């Protein structure tokens, strides 16, 4: 039953991509910005989790919560300092700013702590093999999957059942109309960045637990892959980001399982090219006309 084992591993990996992709798709849905600094918020989350478990001697779940809180604050700071003044600027100006913020975070991190690799400690969570239908599946993979799905369910609850979630959907639909109805658009956008960044921080801690090795430039490739996952699912669609992340993780695992591990990173970009050619709006996206 090796296929089941590969499927579980793929969905666990995909859930990490999905958590990062949710930040991309939420921000794009609100202000039509591709926040390329998001992968570096994910990196910061991984390091916050690492320092929490090694220097503060906390467990996995407290480290996860600490990373989410600090990354949420970082997300709001980035939005207020870098993006708020560019609301009415051209998209290319906002895109270049996002790339600049990404580089600033990476090299600020390298300046203060160096570029050396850190390793998450072993035994942070119990890692035993569980026999499911003949497949040996690690309890760590199941924990990662469980935490990721719980966070996605919580996000869906926030978006559909809370006041800030309703405000986010209203601003996404029409910011000017939402402002006329008394919604504080600036606070709603900041809340969107906070929630998306918190999920990226959680993904960073989970990534550190899964791969153990982290470094200041680790956000580049997972960040780009999460962007691919968001496009695959339909940029701006929360269910699409979840689905796209899961699919991408499974594809990568299958490619590795077939003996093409050197091609696993290329698989994401092949998928992106195919999606852009045959269904540019993504799986859950809708084709919309835009005045130019």
Instruction: State phi, psi for 198 to the nearest 5 degrees.
Output: -60, -40
Q: Which CA distances in Å does 155 have to 65, 195, 273?
A: 15, 8, 29
CA distance between the termini of the chain: 53
Residues in the chain, pLDDT under 50: 290-292
pLDDT in tens, 166-188: 999 999 988 889 999 999 999 99
- Which DSSP helix (H) or strand (E) runs through 132? strand 129-132
pLDDT of the residue at 126: 77
Classify burial at 91, counting beta carbons within 10 Å of its beta carbon; exposed 0-12, middle 13-18, buried 19 or more: exposed
pTM (2 d.p.): 0.91
pLDDT of the residue at 288: 56
Q: Which residues of 11-20 are buried (b: 16+ CB within 10 A; e: fewer)?
A: bbbbbbbbbb
- The secondary structure of residue 124, as a DSSP letter, is S
pLDDT of the residue at 63: 94
SS3 138: strand
Strands 135-138 and 129-132: antiparallel
pLDDT of the residue at 292: 46
- Which DSSP helix (H) or strand (E) runs through 237? none
pLDDT of the residue at 1: 59
Find out whether 230 and 28 touch, Cβ atoms under 8 Å. yes
């Amino acid at each position: 039953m090796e296929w089941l084992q590969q499927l579980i591993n793929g969905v666990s990996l995909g859930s990490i991509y999905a958590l990062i992709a949710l930040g991309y798709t939420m921000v794009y849905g609100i202000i039509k910005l591709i926040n390329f600094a998001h992968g570096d918020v994910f990196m910061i989350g991984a390091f916050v989790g690492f320092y929490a478990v090694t220097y503060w001697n906390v467990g996995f779940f407290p480290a996860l919560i600490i990373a989410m809180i600090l990354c949420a604050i970082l997300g709001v700071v980035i939005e207020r300092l870098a993006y708020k003044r560019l609301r009415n600027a051209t998209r290319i100006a906002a895109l270049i700013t996002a790339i600049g913020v990404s580089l600033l975070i990476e090299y600020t991190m390298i300046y203060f702590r160096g570029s050396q690799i850190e390793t998450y400690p072993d035994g942070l969570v119990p890692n035993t093999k569980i026999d499911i239908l003949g497949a040996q599946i690690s309890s760590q993979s199941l924990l990662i999957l469980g935490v990721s799905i719980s966070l996605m369910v919580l996000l869906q609850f926030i978006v559909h059942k809370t006041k800030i979630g309703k405000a986010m959907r209203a601003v996404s639909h029409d910011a000017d109309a939402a402002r006329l109805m008394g919604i504080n658009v600036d606070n709603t956008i900041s809340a969107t960045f906070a929630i998306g960044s918190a999920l990226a921080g959680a993904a960073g801690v989970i990534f550190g637990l899964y791969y153990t090795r982290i470094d200041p430039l680790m956000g580049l490739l997972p960040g780009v892959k999460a962007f691919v996952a968001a496009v695959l699912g339909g940029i701006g669609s929360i269910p699409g980001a979840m689905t796209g992340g899961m699919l991408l993780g499974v594809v990568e695992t299958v490619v590795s399982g077939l003996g093409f591990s050197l091609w696993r990173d290329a698989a994401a970009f092949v998928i992106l090219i195919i999606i852009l050619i045959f269904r540019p709006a993504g799986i859950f996206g809708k084709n919309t006309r835009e005045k130019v």
